[in-house]
Amino acid sequence: MKSYLLPEFKIIRDDDRCIRCQVCVRQCGFGVHTYDEENDIIISDESKCVGCQRCAVFCPTNALTIMTNPYEYRPNANWRKEFINDVKKQAEGGGVILTGCGNDKPYKIYWDHIVLNASQVTNPSIDPLREPMELRTYLGSKTNQLEMVDGELKTVLTSQVMIETPIIFSALSYGAISFNAQTSLARAASEFGTLFNSGEGGLPKELRKYGKNAIVQCASGRFGVDPEYLNSSAVVEIKIGQGAKPGIGGHLPGEKVSIPVSRTRMIPEGTDALSPAPQHDIYSIEDLSTLIYALKETTNYEKPISVKIAAVHNSAAIASGMVRAGADIIALDGIRGGTGAAPKIIRDNVGIPIELALAAVDERLRKERIRNKCSIIVAGGFRNAGDIIKAIALGADAVYIATAALVAMGCTLCQKCYTGICNWGICTTDPWLSKRINPDIATKRLTNLLRGWSLEIKEMLGGMGINAIESLRGNRHHLRGVGLNKWELDVLGIKGAGE
């Protein structure tokens, strides 16, 4: 069938600069560029281009410009280009449109409408370059009170995990991302003193040595879950939902299930790895409690148990149930959370923004006087240190970043993760493409990012006159809204700017 779709991207090659070195030809995993020896020219098939910019970055003479193809249909506020093209795609393919990465629709990003406070005259700001600043964070359930007898602590403390910065790498499973990419995350987390999350694909044996810095997931597919896996970690996370696809399971295509992936996931090579939409042993809060305590028993009550849900309409009530069911950590993943593969219609339409979910959950748990029983980790589209510090002031204990970590490794959010081809070597199990991530370099890039953001958080804390992140946690007085409606300010629990 002839496709009626026009290429998404336009490739402009400056022929005065192109030296026919064919680096672009070799770097494109989608086969966009080919060299025509007869005419000594490079031909680019724009219909295959995904706009990942790999060729442009690697071109030694900067001869390539990849830009959005500027074609237009007749302007129509309802039938925008994206919707026309999606209809064409489905008319030609007849299936669910898949995509990768997080929601790219212009839902209001509340971080952009929240501003931070700073000290002026009546209270001194602190210079983080001269005075110590504390970003250290403890994750886990905190006791209601401490009992001291003769200067000795009598209360038995619950298991806590210490992280040096409130930034954690979010779940990225082996199989979805390459071994080299996961290794880089593990090494960076270990070097910086924070955590990485194995995702639902198990933890390769080679990475068990980074277990002290690992959150391991137990998801609906139960891939790679056994007592050794659970005990190799710092935290065990029950994955109920994911922000990019609330209510939807996972599907790792068989092509990505190579021998090492199959070994780690404990499934036959080349078979589709299907994660059911629900956990079939969890249909209620009581069922969740059963699994939480089964995991606690397996890990000898030594590890905090996290429960991750997608942020949806009743998150606050669900979170309350989760804490009562025994969760030590609640992970909330908002509507802008990323994915390796999700139906586009789900990614773009289901869930709620993380800012609102976080504010609602924190508020509810405080009202019910159980906020201390759990730590809250939030996820879903955190772009910079500003977003993170605002989340902490809104009530989060720590923030999960995944897209930002991938971008640090080279990702440009081309959204083709579901194809199994990743020109940046991240979201693929192809052994040839995977080599593009050098764990030494990627680890450095990740630790640099953590360091940069941590320094920025310290700068902002200092400006507010605070010297420990603990003092900002849930301190919404340091936040003001700009351009928000009353209901939005009410849900966020913050005042408008000027108030």
Partner 1 sequence: MKRIQINEDVCIGCRLCEVWCIVAHSKSKDIIKAFKQEKPRPIAMIRVQEDIPISFGAQCRHCPEPICVFSCISGALYIDENGIVLHNSKKCVGCWTCILVCPYGAIMRNEDEKTALKCDFCMEQGTPSCVEHCPNEGLTLVEVSENGF
Whose Cβ is closer to partner 1: residue 435's or residue 451's? 435
Interaction pattern, residues 380-419, with partner 1; x per rule: CB under 8 A: ----------------------------------------
Q: Which of 12, 259, 441, 482 binds partner 1 (CB under 8 A)?
A: 441
When asked if residue 189 is in the footprint of partner 1 (CB under 8 A), the reply is no
Q: Which of 19, 43, 67, 87 binds partner 1 (CB under 8 A)?
A: 19
Stretch that binds partner 1, among 14-22, 119-127, 203-211, 470-478 (CB under 8 A): 14-22
Interaction pattern, residues 22-61, with partner 1; x per rule: CB under 8 A: xx--xx------------------------------x-xx
**Which among 2, 9, 30, 35 is positioned nearest to 20, based on CA atoms?**
35
When asked if residue 438 is in the footprint of partner 1 (CB under 8 A), the reply is yes
Whose Cβ is closer to partner 1: residue 53's or residue 475's? 53
Stretch that binds partner 1, among 35-43, 96-104, 328-336, 423-431 (CB under 8 A): 423-431
The CB-of-23 to partner 1 minimum distance in angstroms stands at 5
Q: Which of 147, 226, 440, 490 binds partner 1 (CB under 8 A)?
A: 440
Number of residues that bind partner 1 (CB under 8 A): 21
Whose Cβ is closer to partner 1: residue 432's or residue 487's? 432
Q: Which of 20, 108, 324, 383 binds partner 1 (CB under 8 A)?
A: 20
- Residue 140: C-alpha distances to residues 162, 301, 424 (Å): 9, 12, 36
Please list, residue by residue across 392-414, b when 16 or more beta carbons sit within 10 angstroms of its beta carbon and e when fewer do.
bbbbbbbbbbbbbbbbbbbbbbb
Which amino acid would we find at residue 319? A
The CB-of-159 to partner 1 minimum distance in angstroms stands at 37
Distance CA 60, CA 310 (A): 43
The CB-of-197 to partner 1 minimum distance in angstroms stands at 25
Q: Which of 5, 6, 21, 421 binds partner 1 (CB under 8 A)?
A: 21
Whose Cβ is closer to partner 1: residue 60's or residue 94's? 60
The CB-of-384 to partner 1 minimum distance in angstroms stands at 26
**Does residue 49 contact residue 24 with C-beta atoms inside 8 Å?**
no
Whose Cβ is closer to partner 1: residue 14's or residue 147's? 14
Q: Which of 211, 250, 425, 481 binds partner 1 (CB under 8 A)?
A: 425
| Contacting residues toward partner 1, per CB under 8 A | 16-17, 19-23, 26-27, 58, 60-61, 425, 430-432, 435-436, 438, 440-441
